Homo-oligomer: A and B are copies of this chain.
Amino acid sequence: MVDVNSVDRWPTQSSPRTFVARRQRLQALLRGPALLASGWPRPRNFPHNCHPFRAESHFLYCLGRQLPGAALWIEPGQARLYATPPDPEARLWHGPEPTLEDLSRELELEVRPLSELGAAPEAATLAPQDPQAAEWLAARLGRSLHAEAPAPRDLELADALIELRLSHDAAGIDQMRQAAAVTVDAHCEGLRRTAPGLREARVRAAMESVIVGAGMTLAYPPIVTVEGQILHAQSHEHVLAAGDLLLADVGAETPEGWAADVTRTWPVSGQFSPTQRVLYQAVETAQKAACAAVRPGARYRDVHRLSQRALLQCLIDVGLFSGSLDSLLELHAVALFYPHGVGHLLGLDVHDMEDLGDRAGYAAGRSRQLDPSYRYLRLDRDLRPGMVVTIEPGFYQIPDALQAIDPGSPLDRALNRSRLAQFEDVRGIRIEDDVLVTETGHERLTGALPTDAAALEALLRA
């Protein structure tokens, strides 16, 4: 058991040379200038009460600092930061802040006031998520960023950043190790704090507390739910009952923006029921098979398929389906209980570079298949060293999906509903780890957190 009170881990910052090197690699891929904005904090309900600021990821990748109101100008021969000088009036409220000269020294980069950046019609860019930054950029570039047909130079810039961000450098991997370690602690705390009679929110709060206490933020809105069949459930008001499974999908993000993304599912009572254990082990079997397949050169779609086959075989063995594995795969039988993809890219974003749509997740010449077995698969690339992917199969009893089966259809005939009824205490199970592709195979960055049912039970009793 991790004693969270003894943890005095604090996030370390990557060295300025990391970002110098990243910018140089980007410069080598550019044919003309590019402008990347950081964004502005968004007021929550009045101008001085803002949501926590989180800079745009492409900016963070190149700068490593959560600087609001800044933009990186980068072209083949040089790079320059335009930043907002500290407001002297704000010192009373926020304390002394670095001047642009301080920033320049710390970042080893030329820094100028943001106001000095004029029209830049020749620059490529990537549309920021922040609407204010998008408007600001559009004015600088003299064009809309939401054009139906993206500008060719913007696509070239996107491809350059994808090329860099697909395989993480040592500093990025170190950041992800830090996020993973704190996330593992958070899950251990969640296990320790689970008890019948508490609300989901209490377990969520205990897990968040480990992350916030370690100087990190949440990489995404936490899912801590007894309704695991709702894949991204955001309600936390249910009171935990002894018979429930609790699904916790919670991940930390470092101050530099790097994410972890981890899911475990555990029994509120401290012990899986026999039916829960059977299906838990089915998901675990699929997760292990998929992890084992992660290596350089493996195609991620095949890893996904492998996880589907492994899970489906277990479901056949358990008696939920009758028929041959291959015929059931053709019927998309496994997608009935496991409708999503086996995982996705992980990096600065929990779905890394999803701001670029499938351009990052799908290799050139590949596109998303729309059938039920593949339509939610976010990644179809050949794996290479330095990539980090999640591996997260699941089993869910989703009422909509079960009701949508055509009566008398082959799928309907293959499904053993009376057997399924015996598993009514299983609403949703997911097991998710963060897996680094190494030169020779893979490494589970979240390997310190067990997946084994007995090991989870031991942590629940601790």
Interface membership of A156, Cβ < 8 A: no
1-28 of chain A: CB within 8 A of chain B: 8, 10
Contacts of A236 in B (CB 8 A): 215
Contact of A212 among B135, B205, B231, B233 (CB under 8 A): B205
Give A426 to B129 CA distance when docked, in angstroms. 43
When C-beta atoms are compared, the residue in chain B nearest to A91 turns out to be B400
Contacts of A48 in B (CB 8 A): 351, 354
CB-based contact B215/A199 at 8 Å: yes
Contacts of A306 in B (CB 8 A): none
Contact of A201 among B42, B199, B212 (CB under 8 A): B212
Interface contacts beyond A10-B237, A45-B56: sample of 16 additional A-B pairs, CB < 8 Å, sorted by A = A8-B199, A42-B42, A44-B129, A45-B257, A45-B348, A46-B349, A48-B354, A49-B351, A51-B51, A92-B231, A94-B233, A95-B227, A95-B230, A95-B233, A201-B214, A205-B212
Interface membership of A287, Cβ < 8 A: no
**Number of contacting residues on A, CB 8 A?**
63
- Distance in Å from the Cβ of A59 to the closest Cβ of chain B? 11
- Distance in Å from the Cβ of A346 to the closest Cβ of chain B? 12
- Distance in Å from the Cβ of A260 to the closest Cβ of chain B? 14
Contacts of A93 in B (CB 8 A): 230-232
Give A406 to B56 CA distance when docked, in angstroms. 44
What 9 A-B pairs come out closest when comparing CB atoms?
A: A205-B213, A95-B230, A209-B209, A205-B212, A46-B354, A43-B129, A205-B209, A46-B355, A202-B213
A: residues with CB less than 8 A from B are: 8, 10, 42-52, 54, 56-57, 91-95, 129-132, 135, 197, 199, 201-202, 204-206, 208-215, 220-221, 227, 230-234, 236-237, 257, 339, 348-351, 353-355, 398, 400-401
Known: A49-B351, A51-B51, A351-B48. A42 touches B130 (CB 8 A): yes
9 contacts between A and B (CB under 8 A): A10-B199, A42-B42, A44-B54, A45-B129, A94-B233, A199-B213, A201-B213, A205-B209, A208-B208
Known: A44-B54, A202-B213, A210-B205. A349 touches B49 (CB 8 A): yes
Contacts of A355 in B (CB 8 A): 43, 45-47
Give A49 to B211 CA distance when docked, in angstroms. 18
Contacts of A231 in B (CB 8 A): 92-93
Contacts of A237 in B (CB 8 A): 10, 215
Contacts of A91 in B (CB 8 A): 400
- Distance in Å from the Cβ of A57 to the closest Cβ of chain B? 5
Contacts of A348 in B (CB 8 A): 45
Give A236 to B8 CA distance when docked, in angstroms. 13
When C-beta atoms are compared, the residue in chain B nearest to A208 turns out to be B212
- Distance in Å from the Cβ of A216 to the closest Cβ of chain B? 9
Give A45 to B210 CA distance when docked, in angstroms. 23
Contacts of A130 in B (CB 8 A): 42
Known: A47-B355, A132-B131. A92 touches B398 (CB 8 A): yes
When C-beta atoms are compared, the residue in chain B nearest to A44 turns out to be B54
Give A129 to B95 CA distance when docked, in angstroms. 25
CB-based contact A57/B42 at 8 Å: no
- Distance in Å from the Cβ of A337 to the closest Cβ of chain B? 12
CB-based contact B233/A52 at 8 Å: no
- Distance in Å from the Cβ of A255 to the closest Cβ of chain B? 9
Contacts of A204 in B (CB 8 A): 212-213
Give A78 to B363 CA distance when docked, in angstroms. 55
CB-based contact A94/B234 at 8 Å: yes
Contacts of A401 in B (CB 8 A): 92
Contacts of A232 in B (CB 8 A): 93-94
Contacts of A57 in B (CB 8 A): 45
Give A51 to B56 CA distance when docked, in angstroms. 13
Give A57 to B46 CA distance when docked, in angstroms. 9
CB-based contact B94/A230 at 8 Å: yes
Give A349 to B43 CA distance when docked, in angstroms. 12
When C-beta atoms are compared, the residue in chain B nearest to A51 turns out to be B51
Identify which of A131, A230, A355 gathers the most chain B CB atoms within 10 Å of its CB. Answer: A131
Give A91 to B399 CA distance when docked, in angstroms. 11
